[in-house]
Structure 1
Amino acid sequence: MAEPRTERGLDRLVNFSDATVAIAITLLILPLVDVATETRDHDLGTVFHENLGALISFVVTFAVIGQFWTVHHRIFEYVRAYSPRLIAANFVWLAGIVFLPFAANVLSGSDGQPSISALYIGTMVVVTAAAFGIDLILIRHPELCHPESVGDLSLAPSLSFITLLVVAGVIAVVFPAINLYALLILFLGRETTKLYDRWLPRAAAVGRRAGDAKAEEGATSE
């Protein structure tokens, strides 16, 4: 017996995801709340200077999670139904988002150890890989998307971001002096995306092939 797929169910999935992101992004401020108590004994400039790493970690990770949510929101604007695989990929995405505040706090309290930088960047790779998985599921199952928008889906942005993050992680580990400055390579994202767009088949073509394959399976079973 097939499980029902209702619009209310999709709304609950999206709302749960949004709430989880909101909680994760709120957790980022907790270490700075503890820092605020130091202003009783020191002037504000001294407190900022002594906790510069935590402040930078907060700003960067806030922006990163915000960007991840923006991409996730844009993807789910195409969605009209869901499947167990889509839910599973979304939970992997959420797991990475929830772990990011921990990775950021560890990073801010470290002295630039390559392994900790790799943990932070690796978490970003997991989130991006999950987004890639969501894109792939939607492209291979166009019935989950609004018919007029399925052709707009592309694997290129996620694949580009994964590639650049992996390269940044390798640079951060091999060259500890560079550390997280390796993330500046992400500014090449637009050009890398254009390259992948040339090599990857369009979403509409993949969706048609997936639909044709299902039609052939149905005809064979009959």
Structure 2
Amino acid sequence: MTEKPHGLERMIFFSDAVIAIMLTLLALELPVPEGDSLKVLLASLGGHGDEYLAFGVSFAVIAATWVAHHMLFSHVVRADQALITLNLVALLAYILVPWASKTLAETDGGAGVAVYSAVMAFLGFAMLMVVRHVDKRGLLAPDTPRPVIAGIRAWTLTTMAMFAVSIPLSLLVSRWITVFWAVGYLGLRLAAALYTRAGSKAEPAAG
């Protein structure tokens, strides 16, 4: 494995720390159920269904996007100033997720869904720009399997597209759009996992 420059390692460690904090903040925002019996406790949990749904979707998107980030940067061998800037933009999107999740849970109608979808589309777009930059500027290791990078690019693009489409749809179907997220997201995640797994077994591309 090629040793990474110190500056690149610092950027990766910083990114991991920011993402870990965002996941922690998501959990801290969860309401605590109240009740002195199982029936009352379950009723209290049901009363906070929107908050728990927002947490579940946000955790899944952040976790999957971090996996894509981790897979990508395992093949990045050097960084330039543009990559550092683009990565900071992606981290800005991550930082907005807890706020968007709270907005989704506490705003009635389609407005909260639209705001949430916009933040998630921004996250997908920011990650797509990172993938595009490291590929275009030759910041990847020469033996990087091309199907793996193509799979990461496809995953970020489809994530961005799914939530971008959700913005106008949310004004029509309001919170029913979350059903679309669940089905579409799981399908995209499965397709990306199969695609990147196949790519990891492929012959490395020539440098």
TM-score of Structure 1 vs Structure 2, range by shorter chain: 0.7 to 0.9
SS in 2 for 1:176: helix
1:8-65 per-residue CA deviation (whole Å, 9 max, x = no partner) reads 1111100000000010000012232x525x3469932122122122122222211211
SS in 1 for 2:156: helix
Q: Give 1:124-139 correspondences, 5 Å limit.
A: 124-139=120-135
Aligned to 1:17: 15
Find the partner of 2:142 among 139, 147, 166.
Answer: 147
In 1, distance between residues paired with 2:86 and 2:145? 18
TM-score by length of 2: 0.79
TM-score by length of 1: 0.74
Structure 2 residue 97 is matched with structure 1 residue 100: yes
Partners of 1:139 and 1:150 within 8 A in 2: no
Of structures 1 and 2, the larger Rg is shown by: 1
Q: Give 1:11-160 correspondences, 5 Å limit.
A: 11-32=9-30, 34-36=31-33, 38-39=34-35, 43-111=40-108, 113-142=109-138, 144-149=139-144, 151-152=146-147, 153-154=149-150, 155-160=153-158
Say if 1:156 and 1:46 are closer, same or farther in 2 by CA, change over 3 A.
Answer: closer
In 2, distance between residues paired with 1:109 and 1:162? 23
1:187 to partner: Cα distance: 4.7
In 2, distance between residues paired with 1:55 and 1:104? 10
In 1, distance between residues paired with 2:13 and 2:175? 41
In 1, distance between residues paired with 2:133 and 2:175? 39
Runs of 4+ in structure 1 off by over 6 angstroms are none
Say if 1:177 and 1:27 are closer, same or farther in 2 by CA, change over 3 A.
Answer: closer
CA RMSD of aligned residues (A): 2.7
Aligned to 1:185: 184
Partners of 2:26 and 2:98 within 8 A in 1: yes
Number of aligned residue pairs: give it.
187
SS in 2 for 1:43: helix
Partners of 1:125 and 1:166 within 8 A in 2: yes
Say if 1:141 and 1:177 are closer, same or farther in 2 by CA, change over 3 A.
Answer: closer
SS in 1 for 2:174: coil
Which structure is richer in relative contact order (CA contacts within 8 A, separation 6 or more)? 2
- Aligned residue identity for 2:100: A
1:185 to partner: Cα distance: 3.1
- Structure 2 unpaired stretches of 5+: 196-204
In 2, distance between residues paired with 1:75 and 1:124? 19
